[in-house]
Amino acid sequence: EPEVTQTPSHQVTQMGQEVILRCVPISNHLYFYWYRQILGQKVEFLVSFYNNEISEKSEIFDDQFSVERPDGSNFTLKIRSTKLEDSAMYFCASSFNYEQFFGPGTRLTVL
Amino acid sequence: RKEVEQDPGPFNVPEGATVAFNCTYSNSASQSFFWYRQDCRKEPKLLMSVYSSGNEDGRFTAQLNRASQYISLLIRDSKLSDSATYLCVVYMDSNYQLIWGAGTKLIIKP
The pLDDT score that the predictor gives to residue B95 is: 67
Cross-chain residue pair A102–B45, CB shorter than 8 Å = yes
pLDDT digits (tens, 9 = 90+) for B20-42: 999 999 887 777 899 999 999 89
**Which amino acid makes up residue B44?**
P
Nearest to B97 by CA among A94, A37, A47, A63: A47
pLDDT digits (tens, 9 = 90+) for B55-97: 899 999 999 998 899 999 999 999 999 999 999 999 877 666 7
Shortest CB distance from B43 goes to which of A48, A91, A98? Answer: A91
Beta strands A106-110 and A10-13, pairing class = parallel
pLDDT digits (tens, 9 = 90+) for A45-102: 999 999 899 999 999 999 999 999 988 789 999 999 999 999 999 999 999 888 899 9
Nearest residue on chain B to A9, judged by CA atoms? B42
Positive or negative torsion for Cα A28, B95, A41, B82 = negative
Shortest CB distance from B100 goes to which of A31, A43, A104? Answer: A43
Shortest CB distance from A99 goes to which of B43, B49, B100? Answer: B49
Cross-chain residue pair B46–A101, CB shorter than 8 Å = yes
What's the burial of B52, exposed, middle or buried (CB within 10 Å: 0-12/13-18/19+)? exposed
User: Which residues from B are below 8 Å from A45, CB to CB?
Assistant: 97-100
The pLDDT score that the predictor gives to residue A71 is: 85
Where would I find the beta strands (DSSP E) of B1-110?
4-6, 11-14, 19-25, 32-38, 45-50, 54-57, 60-65, 70-75, 84-92, 97-100, 104-109
Cross-chain residue pair A48–B96, CB shorter than 8 Å = yes
| Cβ–Cβ contact B1 with A under 8 A | no
Mapped onto helix, strand or coil, the DSSP state of residue A92 is strand
Cross-chain residue pair B97–A48, CB shorter than 8 Å = yes
Shortest CB distance from A103 goes to which of B38, B43, B103? Answer: B43
Contacts of B79 (CB under 8 A, 6+ apart): B15, B108
Whats the size of chain B, residue-wise? 110
